Amino acid sequence: FIQEQDEDAHEKVAKNLDNANELCIIVFYENEAPKKTNALFKKIAKIGQVEEFPRPFPADITKWILNKAKQDNINIDLREAGYLGQYCEPNLWTISNELEKLKIYANSRQITKEMIEELCTPSLTSSIFKLTDAVAQKNVKDGLITFSILKDSGEDLIRIFFMIARHFRILIQVKEMLEKRENQQSIIRRLKQHPFVIQKTSLQSKNFTQKRLEEIHEKLLTIDIKTKTGKIKSYRGDNKEFELEVEKLIIDCCK
């Protein structure tokens, strides 16, 4: 709300906060940290409580998994714990459920990477990284299988496409910055991305030339424009034509 609404809306809300019933609890949830100089934010901070819940770093998630596994007698080592943290959504509740699933399946055996891939639901981010790896290696089969997993995840197909396009935009930016010899901290700060994302993207960028990345991005942009102008049909409940275009793109990019 703070990020998206204008100052007039902020002022109206701020005035109403003064008159709020003391038995009423009002919660403001923001996906991005608002500016602390914002009038509404300052008002909320003055009369209420501000809590930040930053996304945990990969090392923190791995440590949490190992502690949880020890507590619940789950046989998993450091490498597999790190992989599980990268493979699933960075959400401790989700990871806890996946660990329980692995515990039942493994039945005291050592948990392996193969078990994680067979049983656990991959995050949208990890699937997009995997799809990008397949394109980099020109592996059509893995690319289409990963796209099929993305489709079956329940996520909206348009959102999946948007995330793929966004990832390639970040890849282009990271590639340019690395070629200018910018360090990782500078790239993280300028692109405002999680360190894990920049670390993985930096490694992936080595598998592409700048020209190839730009060609792929141009093809993604073409699909986006055709969809928005109705040349590629995409309706709620019927994305077959759009789906086919993305599959053709994956095949084309893997040539």
**What pLDDT, in 10s, does the model give residues 163-213?**
999 999 999 999 999 999 999 899 988 988 878 788 889 999 999 999 999
Cβ-Cβ contacts under 8 Å for 126 (sequence gap 6 or more): 86, 87, 88
Indicate whether this model's pTM tops 0.75.
no
- Residue 141 or 1, more confident: 141
The per-residue pLDDT for range 49-63, each reduced to its tens digit, is 888 887 788 889 999
Q: What residues pair up with 235 in beta bridges, in sequence order?
A: 238
- CATH number, domain 124-253: 1.20.272.10
> What is the residue extent of each domain of the chain?
7-47, 58-119, 124-253
Q: 250 falls in which pLDDT band (50, 70, 90)?
A: very high
Q: What are the angstrom distances between the C-alpha of 223 and each of 161, 230, 236?
A: 10, 10, 17
What's the pLDDT score for residue 61? Answer: 92
What's the pLDDT score for residue 2? Answer: 63
The per-residue pLDDT for range 110-123, each reduced to its tens digit, is 999 999 999 998 88
What's the pLDDT score for residue 146? Answer: 92
Q: What residues pair up with 238 in beta bridges, in sequence order?
A: 235
The answer on pLDDT for 220 being more than 90 is yes
What's the pLDDT score for residue 105? Answer: 95
Q: State the Cα–Cα distance between residues 87 and 18, nearest whole angstrom.
A: 45
What's the pLDDT score for residue 89? Answer: 83
DSSP per-residue letters across 23-51: T-------SSPPPTT-HHHHHHHHHS---
- CATH number, domain 58-119: 1.10.8.60
The per-residue pLDDT for range 134-162, each reduced to its tens digit, is 999 999 999 999 999 888 887 888 888 99
Q: Mean pLDDT, the chain, as a whole number? A: 88
The per-residue pLDDT for range 70-81, each reduced to its tens digit, is 999 999 999 999
> Residues 76, 107: contact at Cβ < 8 Å?
no
What's the pLDDT score for residue 5? Answer: 67
Coil/strand/helix, residue 235: strand
Q: State the Cα–Cα distance between residues 12 and 8, nearest whole angstrom.
A: 6
